[in-house]
Amino acid sequence: MLRGKRIKLGPIKREYIDSFLKWFNDPEITQYLIIYRPMTRMAEEEWMETLKEREDTIHFSIVIPNEDGSEILIGNCGIHKIDWKNRVGELGIVIGEKEYQNEGFGTEAIEILLEYSFNTVNLNRIELLVYDYNVRAMKAYKKVGFIEEGRKRQFMWYKGAYHDAIMMGILAEEWVKKNKK
């Protein structure tokens, strides 16, 4: 369990499956993700099953702890496609409960995940792709120190037009420098 000021990153639990199905079948959420087919319970269960065997993925739930010990699940995040030789990973995040978006929770989760990736897992580089119309996500990534490294032109088709994907990345040395200030 990783603790931030207002949220915690914790394990993925089977009981989260209904929330995941709700988020990953909501076009308002999936417009920003690679997912475009309906997400089935079967596929979601299979994904959960394979999580424990996967060496290239570290996945967390994002929860808000209540004073009585209960938790509100608001999203999930993780580092994927980890390349252990070169110490590179790809960051993914969703604040799936829409009433908790735009409250700073996404930014906080990314900060916790970067701290863990660089200082616990000892990765050297975290990268991601963000679609050009996802201004909110780009803003959150830049706030924590990601920089724009390039652009995949006409990478994806959305609402009748091709859109670019922005390549962003942050290095361990940049994270250390930013957090020393």
Ligand X SMILES: CC(C)(COP(=O)(O)OP(=O)(O)OC[C@H]1O[C@@H](n2cnc3c(N)ncnc32)[C@H](O)[C@@H]1OP(=O)(O)O)[C@@H](O)C(=O)NCCC(=O)NCCS
Residue 102 in the binding site for ligand X (CB under 6 A): yes
Tell whether the torsion through CA atoms of 124, 128, 132 and 134 is positive or negative.
negative
By CB under 6 A, the count of residues binding ligand X is 20
Q: Least distance in Å: CB of 44 to ligand X?
A: 17
Residue 168 in the binding site for ligand X (CB under 6 A): no
| Residue with Cβ nearer ligand X (82 or 95) | 95
| Residue with Cβ nearer ligand X (68 or 137) | 137
Q: Name the residue whose CB lies closest to ligand X.
A: 106
How many helices (H) and strands (E) in the chain?
A: 6, 8
How far apart are the two ends of the chain, measured CA to CA in Å? Answer: 26
In terms of Cα–Cα distance, which of 49, 53, 45 is closest to 21? 45
Task: Compose the 27-46 pattern: x for residues touching ligand X by CB under 6 A, - for all others.
Answer: --x--xx-------------
Residue 72 in the binding site for ligand X (CB under 6 A): no
Separation CA 149–CA 167 (nearest Å): 5
Contact residues toward ligand X (CB under 6 A) are 29, 32-33, 93-95, 101-107, 130, 134-137, 139-140
